[in-house]
Amino acid sequence: MIRALLLIALVPAFVYGNVGRACINGRPQATNVNIIGCSAPPCDLVRGQDVIAYIDFTTDRAVTSMTTVPTATALGITAPYPLPAEFADTCAWLEGASCPLSANEDVTYRLTIPVLSIYPLVSLSIEIDIVDENDQSVSCFVVDAQVVPAN
């Protein structure tokens, strides 16, 4: 019985592992990054489907609003990876919390990244920087990924 309970408790850790790594320049790091369907990088970004990620982070100061700013690097080229406005508003996708946030508040953010069917089949790194109303980083992480065709 105990083995069965332990197995049930551990399966999510194997299915959804922390796949994020730290950003450069000392920006605050997410405490956990789980991308649905990805247990280890590189994560597959399926053309024509949305990628759903859950990001846990702790605010290091009070913030009024937040915006998600993705940047992609592929084939040696770094470029903005703009999100649709409804997904870029970080505060609209917090789970169990809402803006404004207090200093040292632990939050979970549900990020949706559309993967368009026209995207080339490439390996890339995606930096996700969550910035406050003053464009200062609140949390940042990088994930290695690859765009793959839909089945």
Q: What is the pTM of this model?
A: 0.86
- The pLDDT mean for the chain works out to 89
Where helices occur in the chain by DSSP H, the ranges are 2-15, 85-88
Mode of pairing for the β-strands spanning 137-148 and 43-46: parallel
Largest CA-CA distance found in the chain, in angstroms, rounded: 53
Mean pLDDT, range 134-139, rounded to an integer: 97
Q: Which domains does the chain have, with CATH numbers?
A: 28-148 (2.60.40.770)
**Angstrom distances, CA of residue 27 to CA of 60, 70, 90, 100, 146:** 11, 14, 17, 20, 24
- Please give the pLDDT value at position 151: 82
Tokens linked to 112: 């949706």
